């Protein structure tokens, strides 16, 4: 495994991290979870040198953090642990975002308890709350650093303006944003700012929520409650257009004797040393495939071929529903 520096912290984390959400949340119901395989995947991640694990209190309503605690109990010193706060459920099952200092203080204590750890390595605000000044939120998060409950701070899906405001209050180590061949808006305004300030860009959904892995091109194969069924990009007309991009990328991958998922991760890693993808998986076979991408090298000609395809083949459909899009880029 290759390693990359996390912002200006001096910490080295695996160039390919592990997004743990799908083990407990979003991609299938609780009845379809396989905690035994998930735990085996977490153990295998450490064998492969993947030490950067990403979770959130929202994933499975705390179940994902609890799952990770089973491994952290004996392997805490081998893991650079990131979790997030902010999303909350109402009694009717709907959700909203709460970035208030008062809620954050409750959330961090609950996460520490579920994870069964004394300190969280990287604590993210899962979004920016438009009703709470970002300076106030980050100021309260900085108190957690002083108290020794959190080591470093991060933001997720924040605007360039919010990143600047936050960083002025306390150093931000990482910004987590969706970034992939399928979602590149971050390159316009956000990435220049994170690079100016020395902030790592942690890329979630680096495989386009399974699009690059060809695991989501047939909705009939997805669980009935898989949240991708509601995303515009996966609706029939848009999906048919997006499959064309998958097929073009598959041709390059075949020529390189790798999977399209590996090609996608290698392309993302080549965008800069400050980019750290965290593909999610709950199965060992996909974890091994993802990890191998860290050692792949794309030639200038291969990168040009990929970029030509991306420039000539438009991605159809928004990445989120209208409601979810209202929560990003504040």
Active site residues: 59
225: its two tokens: 């409650």
Q: What is the dihedral of CA 27, 32, 36, 37, to 10 degrees?
A: -50
Say how far residue 236 (Cα) sits from the centre of its chain.
25
Are 150 and 143 contacting, i.e. CB atoms less than 8 angstroms apart? Answer: no
What is the length of the chain?
330
* 3-5 vs 12-14, strand pairing mode: antiparallel
| Token pair recorded at residue 113 | 């308890």
The C-alpha atoms of residue 206 and residue 290 are separated, in whole angstroms, by 11
Query: Do the beta carbons of residue 115 and residue 73 sit within 8 Å?
Result: no
Q: How many CB atoms lie within 10 A of CB 224?
A: 8
- Nearest 5°: phi and psi at 75? -125, 20
Tokens of 241: 């257009």
Q: Which of 200, 213, 209 is nearest to 290 (CA)?
A: 213
């Amino acid at each position: 495994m290759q390693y990359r520096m996390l912002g200006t912290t001096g910490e080295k984390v695996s160039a390919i991290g592990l997004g743990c959400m799908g083990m407990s949340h979003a991609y299938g119901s609780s009845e379809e979870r396989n905690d035994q395989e998930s735990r085996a995947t977490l153990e295998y991640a450490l064998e492969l040198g993947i030490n950067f694990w990403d979770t959130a209190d929202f994933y499975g309503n705390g179940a994902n953090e609890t799952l990770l605690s089973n491994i952290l109990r004996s392997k805490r010193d081998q893991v650079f642990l990131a979790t997030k706060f902010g999303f909350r459920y109402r009694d009717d099952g709907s959700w909203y975002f709460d970035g208030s200092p008062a809620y954050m203080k409750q959330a961090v204590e609950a996460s520490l308890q579920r994870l069964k750890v004394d300190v969280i390595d990287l604590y993210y605000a899962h979004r920016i709350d438009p009703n709470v000044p970002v300076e106030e939120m980050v100021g309260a998060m900085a108190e957690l650093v002083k108290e020794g409950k959190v080591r470093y701070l991060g933001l997720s899906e924040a605007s360039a303006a919010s990143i600047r405001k936050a960083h002025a209050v306390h150093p931000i180590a990482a910004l987590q944003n969706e970034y992939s061949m399928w979602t590149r808006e971050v390159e316009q305004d956000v990435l220049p700012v994170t690079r100016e300030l020395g902030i790592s860009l942690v890329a979630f959904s680096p495989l386009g929520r399974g699009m690059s892995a060809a695991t989501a091109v047939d909705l009939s194969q997805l669980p009935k409650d898989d949240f991708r069924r509601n995303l515009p990009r996966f609706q029939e007309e848009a999906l048919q257009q997006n499959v064309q991009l998958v097929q073009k990328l598959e041709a390059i991958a075949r020529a390189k004797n790798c999977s399209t998922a590996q090609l996608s991760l290698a392309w993302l890693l080549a965008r800069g040393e400050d980019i750290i993808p965290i593909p999610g998986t709950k199965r060992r076979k996909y974890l091994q495939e993802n990890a191998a991408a860290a050692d792949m090298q794309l030639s200038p000609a291969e990168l040009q071929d990929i970029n030509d395809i991306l420039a000539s083949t438009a991605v159809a459909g928004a990445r989120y529903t209208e409601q979810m899009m209202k929560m990003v880029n504040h």
